[in-house]
Amino acid sequence: MDHRDPAAQGPACSAGLAHRVRAHCPVGKGPEAVVVDAPRRRAFVACSRSDAVVALDLDTARPVWRADVGREPIPLVLDRPTGRLFSADARSDTVTVLDSATGTRLAQIPVGCYPAGLGHHPGLRRVFSGNTADGTITAVDADRLEVVGTVPAELGAGSIAVDTRRDRGWCANFMTGSVTSFDAASLRPLGRTAVREGPCKAVVDPARGDLYVASSLHGTVSRIRLDTGALLGELPVERAPVGMCVDDVRGLLYVCNRGAGTVSVLDTATGRETHRIMVGNAPGDCALDPVSDTLLVSNAGSGTVTFVHRPWLPGPPPPTSHPLVGRRLPGFALPDLSDGRIRTSREWAEKKYVINFFASW
């Protein structure tokens, strides 16, 4: 089975002037979260429609093992000290724990209703589950594999980002357009920050001290200051951003645009998009392998994971739009074919309309 993308092997790619799509690896139905274990040369993908987690070899871009979990696994986190992989199974209301080396199931822990997000604080030895239907956050001990507490959030609680420097967690609440902050040690709720509609992914940028929240229904990424919780502004991206990861070494934010089949690359210093990467259908999440300089993108609509080599370099420029796009409609006057009456563009001023131009031959 050939994993290479022939379209990505152009002169610019071979000359090392642009990112290169290295492979499209089939994994299963509805891949969502992707996690990288660079030292062990493994990546792990939650296949939500296959009810399974798949391990990939980072160097060959091929599957290593497949493990059944609960129904509809969406997020994943890896606890590197123990080598345990945690999968939140949304339709089973459980968190499944796997041995990341073999895929062996170690435990299945009941949490709240429809867990759709996970966060991890390795120092405090805790994994946090965002329970969408309950509007709560469940804290799980990463060593004893048992629930140690619950934090109130809001309806649609899902993706959880953890600021390990401040021992603070941030939970995106999809239904209420907000982010709940909480103390990761005491499990006390600390505050609420309003964001745009449909927040479904939160990630921490430790280098800049910022939190990024992707609002899928609004096509923006909100930037929040970690030390104050203040909303700093919004970064526009393409349609339906649902997944993100941060390259804090190069100062880049990668945003998966589910509705466009692309990944937006944003400069975290300026907030500007530097370029876009074409991937598969309905990209769900992404993660970086710093060893091979590769970005892994899960494509829920394609059932694949795309391996993008050197993703910080821009690829070929996107097609340019026609120069008339965005300009005002020029005035015109033409006879109506039905009765010969002269119709002008002024009749449709300030209205929405569709014009069908056609040839009469």
pLDDT tens per residue, range 237-251: 999 999 999 999 999
Q: Show Cβ contacts of residue 185 under 8 Å, excluding neighbours closer than 6 positions.
A: 124, 167
Between CA 2 and CA 4 the distance in angstroms is 6
The answer to whether residue 49 is domain-embedded is: yes
Between CA 220 and CA 86 the distance in angstroms is 29
Least confident of 92-96, 158-162, 194-198, 356-360: 356-360
Least confident of 82-91, 101-110, 138-147, 332-341: 332-341
Confidence at residue 103, expressed as pLDDT on a 0 to 100 scale:
98
The answer to whether residue 334 is domain-embedded is: no
Between CA 121 and CA 8 the distance in angstroms is 38
Confidence at residue 346, expressed as pLDDT on a 0 to 100 scale:
75
The answer to whether residue 323 is domain-embedded is: no
- Find the CATH number of the domain harbouring 92: 2.130.10.10
List Cα–Cα distances, 341 to 27, 87, 352, 358, 360, in angstroms: 62, 67, 22, 19, 19
Helix, strand, coil distribution of the chain in percent, nearest 5: 5, 50, 45
Confidence at residue 361, expressed as pLDDT on a 0 to 100 scale:
34
The answer to whether residue 236 is domain-embedded is: yes
Q: How confident is the model at residue 17 (pLDDT cuts 50, 70, 90)?
A: low
> What is the average per-residue pLDDT within 283-311?
97
- Model confidence over 1-16: pLDDT tens digits? 334 333 333 333 333 4
E strand or H helix that includes residue 12: helix 11-14
C-beta separation of 139 from 126 below 8 A: yes
The answer to whether residue 344 is domain-embedded is: no
- Model confidence over 344-360: pLDDT tens digits? 877 777 676 666 554 44
Q: What's the count of helices (H) and strands (E) in the chain, helices before strands?
A: 1, 30
pTM for the model stands at: 0.84
Quote the number of domains for the chain: 1
Between CA 22 and CA 320 the distance in angstroms is 26
The answer to whether residue 99 is domain-embedded is: yes
Q: Please choose, from the candidates 257, 267, 265, 302, the residue with its C-alpha nearest in 3D space to the C-alpha of residue 281.
A: 302
> What is the average per-residue pLDDT within 169-185?
97
Q: Which percentage of the chain shows pLDDT scores above 70?
A: 88
pLDDT at 338 over 80: no
Confidence at residue 304, expressed as pLDDT on a 0 to 100 scale:
97
The answer to whether residue 205 is domain-embedded is: yes
> What is the average per-residue pLDDT within 120-125?
98
pLDDT at 324 over 60: yes
Confidence at residue 192, expressed as pLDDT on a 0 to 100 scale:
95
Domain encompassing residue 275 = 19-309
The answer to whether residue 213 is domain-embedded is: yes
Confidence at residue 284, expressed as pLDDT on a 0 to 100 scale:
95
Least confident of 12-21, 211-220, 228-237: 12-21
Confidence at residue 167, expressed as pLDDT on a 0 to 100 scale:
97
Confidence at residue 109, expressed as pLDDT on a 0 to 100 scale:
98
